[in-house]
Structure 1
Amino acid sequence: MSRAVSRGARTRMTGRAILRAGIAALALAVVACGGGDDDDGVVTVPGPTPSATPTPAPTPTATPSPTATTTAVTRTPVATFDNPWAMAFLPDGRLLVTERPGRLRLVTINGQVSAAIAGVPAVAYGGQGGLFDVALDPAFATNARIYLSYAEASSGGPALAVARGTLANDGAGSVRLDNVSVIWRATPRSTDTRHFGARMAFARDGTLFVTSGERHQGAPAQDLSGTLGKIIRINTDGTIPADNPFVGTAGVRSEIWSYGHRNPYGLVFASDGRLFESEMGPEGGDEFNLIAAGGNYGWRLVSEGNDGEVLPRHSTRPDLVAPLFSWTPVIAPGGMIQYRGSRFANWNDDFLLAGLVSQGLVRVRVSGTTATEVARIPLHARIREVEQGPADTLWVLEDGGTGRLVRLDPA
């Protein structure tokens, strides 16, 4: 994500004052341009935006409305991890937590953290790559199977991969991962280590949906001969469902469900069965989308943000699917859930998006095909992931090398 840094006058400033001024200027610039999708913290300086071309007006549904409320919650830190990325609650109330360097851990809600679980595939850790999402098989209660998405190393550069395995006791009180096999790999590979996507969600019919980022390349999102910048749908063994929208279409990957995505980090099936996705925009234009089979969501033909140049808005291309809602400045969305419970009053069925740049949760309400931001929950840290736990509690993972697992309760 591009960010601009302005350099103030340094006359008569001490070295410490210069440092403070630089940090303040950087923070202001990040907010101003809506930056924040560089997961590894790399700050880049963009080239100038052409001034001769006026910025087209965005479509009304993609224009952010004012935040309705700011909601306070209580925070209880439970455990600390090395670059945590995702979590999944087991039926017994414990949870699995992934760490991007390649470790999977079993954690109790009281904060007891296991040693790294053996059997996890080797990951390509670097840039934004590493171990990403973890998901339970719909029949986990009987087959103990889990799915992991991760950056897999190869001579052609890392690629997003999905593997499945079975959680098993090792006989000494620990858990290991057995019968591990890769069921899907993104194509083509890229030497760029950004924009993997990697979020997973199971549909009611048991098929698995996976978000695949465009690896910061732009054009591959529109190339149907590859799976970069796509949402894909596969069976739990990696085979392709016969009713996928492009099955039988020459030159098109048959696992593709939708395309034209940039860096999709949120994916959830709602209580009504519809699929919703959130993704990071470039300089502005983070998106909240309703996903339809075969839909083209426009990247990099259109966007509600810019990318070193002014991009056309969705309103200029009615043949492309516009977001239900977009954010400029960005929130830099991470994981996403639909909350289904009563512990947090009036939140039932609202979507909660983890915010990296917004440093908290963003609450979105959907009515039909209209989405509105209704509240922000400030947590004063970059939030990578959010999940609902036992007794309708909420849990978040902070981003970074000392990211914490935090329980949230109504204030």
Structure 2
Amino acid sequence: MVVGGCLLGVGAAQAQDVVTLRDIFAIETVQTGMAFPSSIAFAPAPDDRIFYVERFTGNIRIIENGVLLPAPFANVPDIATAGEQGLLTITLDPNFAANGFVYVYYTQVAGPPVPIEPTWRSIQDQVFSARCASCHVNPSAPAGLSLVESDSYAALVGVASTQVPALERVEVGNPDDSYLVRKIEDHPSIVGQAMPPTGALLDPDIMLAVRDWITAGAPYNPGDPSNPPQVFRNRILRFTAVGDTGTNPTIVLDDIPAGFIHNGGSIEFAHDGTLIVQVGEHGDGNAAQSLGTLAGKILRINADGSIPLDNPFVGVPGAREEIYSYGNRNGFGIAPDPIDFFSPPRVYVSENGPGNNDELNIIESGGGDNFGWPFVTGIVGNPSYTDPIFAWNPVTAPTGIIRYSGGVYHPSYDGNLFVSLYNLRELVLFSGDFTAVISRFELTPDGSSLVRASDLMVARFPGNPRPIELTQGPDGLVYFTMVNVSTSDGTLYRIVKTDDDDDGCGNASDPAPGVFSADGDGDSYGADCDCDDA
């Protein structure tokens, strides 16, 4: 959430264990010990509170005066936490100071859980689709390793393992010698890394169902794939803050399609007071092209859940009128334009591709764009679809996105897009640490197209964390969370400027840190260090 105001009153200190690889910035630690902070939101000045959500616990937490309050603001009940589900996003009403409204987007358990049965259908839904999604249940899975529903049975039963050829992936009637069983039960001396590689191992009752299915002859009994049990839904819920307590939970938008994967989940208010909502296609690419469902869409609704009359599909027969764009696969970041106040708003969107072509998209004022999924990805020049302004290859899994309007860094950063990259990281040899990247995209003055791409931040973090949330604080600084997805341990950081004269050379290496250097090459970034020179 982007808000304006004065200096944020939090007790931040420079992160001693983080090494920045550019000396014009430093990284300060704002809060440690956070439980998978998937999204944060700042209360407007003079309120100094930071709200955030814990993805797996359902708790909404508050940091006040640099202290994490011991009692949650609220707990969202019936959170679903398999795959890419959870309590995903939080944002505050533009009139929060007056009404105290806090909005969250989450995946809810919408019905009784489907029993874990020794059937191929149950295993497909509750093992492969739920826990193997990031590596195996997507179109980019390596040949022979796809666990997409149409491929999984043929890829497993009676097929020799590529890692341990003496074992079949599923040996009919013999779970003990099935590679799949040894993989999910974690026998590292035989099969190497366990499956799934991150997070907890499968529950014992799920492992038992897999064993029983194999013992029974691994029958192909899919049931009715056209009508799988719907036990999840995504929902937007609003709380009213009374002090540091959330009260009066109210459903704003319900029955948003959900799945084990591709739930999207970013929600942000635009300048006109409408709420922009990012919804994934829950693994069903064709749904992204259907105007009759909210899956695979960017939505625009009023704060009370009603439909803005100037939405692009208002009055279109069979169309959901909440839709602002379609043909979207899945993403974790939207940024309604905070600078150019078009009405309806322009929205910048980060989008995750299948195995190539992660995208940076723009929904121009008025919406109605079709970004092409599942028929096209990347920049293709097909007039039937809207091309992204940038595509990542190889993929980087972009997460948070903002259009910077803080005015704290060098003036050349104003109006830029910043995007955090979940997968663009490198292991630092001999340390076990990883570098993390926040990309920078300079735009034309009207904000409609790309000038060039570079990096805002490249930094080395201890352990194995990944950037999740990215936002702008009321002090004009960029804030981001890093989360170790194996342990859920998270930290909130902010980026401060260490280049007093804005010449592209950090104070520590600038022979005259109080004097702006001559711009010898005419690129407007300074000359003596010129960190941003392309």
Interval of TM-score (by shorter of Structure 1 and Structure 2): 0.7 to 0.9
Is the 2:105–2:234 Cα contact (8 Å) retained in structure 1? yes
Does the aligned pair in 2 maintain the 1:212–1:231 contact within 8 Å? yes
Which one is further off, 371-380 or 193-202?
Answer: 371-380
Give the counterpart of 2:322 among 223, 243, 255. Answer: 255
Partners of 1:136 and 1:283 lie apart in 2 by 34
The aligned counterpart of 2:39 is 86
With over 3 angstroms needed to count, the CA separation of the structure-2 counterparts of 1:70 and 1:374, relative to structure 1, is: farther
Indicate how the Cα distance of structure 1 residues 95 and 348 shifts in structure 2: closer, same or farther if over 3 A, else same. same
Is the Cα contact below 8 Å between 2:79 and 2:86 reproduced in 1? yes
Look up the equivalent residue of 1:99 and give its one-letter code. Answer: E
Code of the aligned partner of 1:118: A
- Counterparts of 2:110 and 2:95, CA distance in 1: 32
Quick one: distance in 2 between partners of 1:330 and 1:291?
21
**Structure 2 CA distance for aligned equivalents of residues 161 and 234 of structure 1:** 13
| 1:246-395 equivalence runs, <5 A | 246-270=313-337, 271-273=339-341, 274-292=346-364, 293-304=367-378, 314-315=380-381, 317-345=382-410, 346-358=412-424, 359-367=436-444, 368=446, 369-371=448-450, 372-380=452-460, 381-395=465-479
Alignment check: 8 A CA contact 2:59 2:75 kept: no
Q: Cα distance, 1:394 vs. partner?
A: 2.1
Deviates more, 1:392-401 or 1:226-235: 392-401
Question: Residue 278 of structure 1 aligns to a residue in which SS?
Answer: strand
Which ranges of structure 2 fall in alignment gaps of 5 or more residues?
1-20, 112-229, 425-435, 499-534
Task: Report the CA distance between 1:210 and its aligned residue.
Answer: 0.3
**278, 286, 309: which is aligned to 1:242?**
309
Structure 2 distance, partners of 1:119, 1:198, is 18
Distance 1:265 1:71 in 2: 29
Per the alignment, residue 99 of structure 1 pairs with 54
Separation of aligned partners in 2, 1:342 and 1:237: 32
With normalisation by structure 1, the TM-score equals 0.75
Give the Å deviation of 1:376: 4.3
- CA drift of 1:203 comes to 2.1
State the Cα deviation string for residues 286-321 of structure 1 (Å, max 9, x = none): 1111103111000001012xxxxxxxx633x22100
Structure-2 residue corresponding to 1:74 = 26
1:160 aligns to 2:160 (yes or no): no
CA shift at 1:182, angstroms?
A: 1.2
In 1, Cα distance between equivalents of 2:439 and 2:65: 24
Query: Partners of 1:113 and 1:393 in 2: how far apart?
Result: 23
What code does the residue aligned with 1:370 have? S
The SS at the match of 1:152 is: strand
1:391 aligned counterpart, secondary structure: coil
Q: Distance in 2 between matches of 1:109 and 1:72?
A: 27
Structure 1: gaps spanning 5 or more residues: 1-68, 170-174, 305-312
Tell me the amino acid that sits aligned with residue 441 of structure 2: V
Amino acid at match of 2:482: E
Residue 184 of structure 1: aligned partner: 253
Contact 1:161 1:186 (8 Å CA) reproduced:
yes
Report SS of the residue matched to 2:359: strand
Give the conservation status (yes or no) of the 8 Å contact 1:186–1:228: no
Amino acid at match of 2:236: V
Superposition map of 1:105-124 within 5 A: 105-108=61-64, 110-124=66-80
Asked whether the equivalents of residues 406 and 476 of structure 2 are also in contact (C-alpha less than 8 Å), the reply is yes
Change in CA separation of 1:114 and 1:343 when aligned onto 2, cut-off 3 Å: farther
CA contact (8 A) 1:343 1:393 kept: yes
Q: Choose between structure 1 and 2 for higher RCO, CA contacts under 8 A separated by at least 6 residues.
A: 1
Letter in 2 for 1:283: G
Give the match's secondary structure for 2:74: coil
- CA distance in structure 2 between the aligned counterparts of 1:98 and 1:230, rounded to whole angstroms: 23
Q: Which secondary structure does the structure 1 equivalent of 2:332 belong to? A: strand
Kept in 2: contact 1:70–1:375 (CA 8 A): no
Question: For 2:65 and 2:350, how far apart are their aligned partners in 1?
Answer: 28
Q: Percent identity?
A: 33
Q: Distance in 1 between matches of 2:67 and 2:388?
A: 38
Normalised by the size of structure 2, how large is the TM-score?
0.59
Which of the two has greater strand per residue?
1
Larger radius of gyration between Structure 1 and Structure 2? 2
Residues 266 and 336 of structure 1 are in contact (CA less than 8 Å); yes or no, is this contact kept in structure 2? yes
Contact 2:37 2:55 in 1 (8 A): yes
User: 1:186/1:349 Cα in 2 relative to 1: closer, same or farther (>3 Å)?
Assistant: farther
Shift of 1:322: 0.4
Q: Whole-Å Cα distance in 2 between the matches of residues 303 and 160 of structure 1?
A: 25
The whole-number CA distance in structure 1 between the counterparts of 2:370 and 2:481 is 31
RMSD between aligned residues: 1.9
Any idea what SS the aligned residue of 2:475 has?
helix
Q: What amino acid sits opposite 1:76 in the alignment?
A: E
TM-aligned CA distance change 1:165 to 1:365, over 3 Å: same
**Aligned position for 2:281:** 214
In 1, the alpha carbon distance for the partners of 2:455 and 2:408 equals 17
Q: Does 1:410 align with 2:494?
A: no
1:365-406: CA deviation from partner (whole Å, max 9, x where unpaired): 111432131324123341101122243222111123111111
Paired residue total: 327
CA–CA distance in structure 2, aligned partners of residues 370 and 291 of structure 1: 12
> Does the 8 A contact of 2:334 with 2:348 survive in 1?
yes
Q: Match of 1:344, as an amino acid?
A: Y
User: Is contact 2:350–2:359 with CA below 8 Å preserved after alignment?
Assistant: yes
Structure 1 segments of 4 or more deviating over 6 A? Answer: none
